[in-house]
Structure 1
Amino acid sequence: MKKLDQALSDLSLTPNQKKQMTKAGALVYKESLRSNMNNSLHKGKYSRETKVKLEDDIGIRYKVEDGATYVGFKSTTGHSGYIARILNDGYAAHGGKGAKAHKTRIISGLHFQEKSLVESKSMILAAEAKKYRELTGD
């Protein structure tokens, strides 16, 4: 029984090691998110006049207790991360002056977060597995 307990404890990582492993995957996701966000923002005549640089608001947080790593948008003072949840919804744009020029255009939602998750899932797992092997010496 003692050998089994020792073998199981050798397999499990400490919270600090888990943090290092999940951080490797989080960095991959963060880069994918930044890339997809920049490529999917609306451009052209009906785009937003006020430009918001959400790529500067992507942040990484760590949970000390279990080593989890989270990637998300900063919504604190000076950051506009709260806008990320609005961007994905899509909306009906109304424009023009006067009844004849007034047209409704449906602006599709920006699903860069979902796209980033789907595209980078295997790369995230590969980065975490590589880090795991480094940490365990396998």
Structure 2
Amino acid sequence: MADLYNDDDFGKLLDDWLDNVEAVSSQLSPEEQAEITKAGADVYADKLEKATHEKHYRDGVDEELHLVDDVKSQNTNLGGEIDGSSTVGFGEKAYIARFLNNGTKFMKGDHFVENTRQESIDDILTAEAIAYKKRIDEAQS
């Protein structure tokens, strides 16, 4: 059995794999990184929109913009720069989302933003992994 497994071959295999991963990941530009993180951000935005609709949507309110319609996803940081990150949040109605999420001295918050993020993490990472795999496959072909 010892003849079938050689520590040197396994170590070389791991080194080759690590070199390949480092080569592909370090070659990604911030725009490409933002494309990958945007895939996860879009998944989170969809789930946040659904959670907002389930917990905080009121029918019959004559508002131009409901909180659920104000969920935003962008492939830039908060300052608008492309650095490889993506952000998800609320637009004009963010202050209302903060009251509902965190609560006030008059009402208890339900932490729907954090709960949705925790419940969505597997789906977010899966979407990013698919986008990353696509980018790696393109780089290797």
- The interval holding the TM-score normalised by the smaller chain is 0.5 to 0.7
Q: Which has the higher contact order (CA 8 A, sep 6+)?
A: 1
What TM-score does the superposition give when structure 1 sets the normalisation length?
0.68
Q: Deviations over 1:84-121 (max 9, x none)?
A: 1111234576xxxxxxxxxxxxx542321011111100
What TM-score does the superposition give when structure 2 sets the normalisation length?
0.66
Counterpart contact for 1:41–1:110, Cα < 8 Å: no
CA RMSD of aligned residues (A): 2.7
Q: Residues of 2 paired with 1:109 and 1:40: CA distance?
A: 12
Taking a change above 3 Å as real, the CA distance of residues 31 and 114 of structure 1, as seen in their structure-2 partners, is: same
Question: What are structure 2's unaligned runs of at least 5 residues?
Answer: 1-18
Q: 1:26 maps to which residue?
A: 41
Counterpart contact for 1:36–1:115, Cα < 8 Å: no
* Number of residue equivalences: 112
Q: 2:121 maps to which residue?
A: 121
User: Is 2:30 the counterpart of 1:15?
Assistant: yes
Counterpart contact for 2:57–2:67, Cα < 8 Å: no
Q: 2:97 maps to which residue?
A: 84
Q: 2:72 maps to which residue?
A: 59
The structure whose residues are more often helix, as a share, is 2
The structure whose residues are more often strand, as a share, is 1
Aligned identity (percent) is 34
Matches within 5 A, 1:89-100: 89-90=102-103
Give the partner amino acid of 2:24: D
Question: What are structure 1's unaligned runs of at least 5 residues?
Answer: 1-5, 44-48, 94-106
Give the partner amino acid of 1:123: D
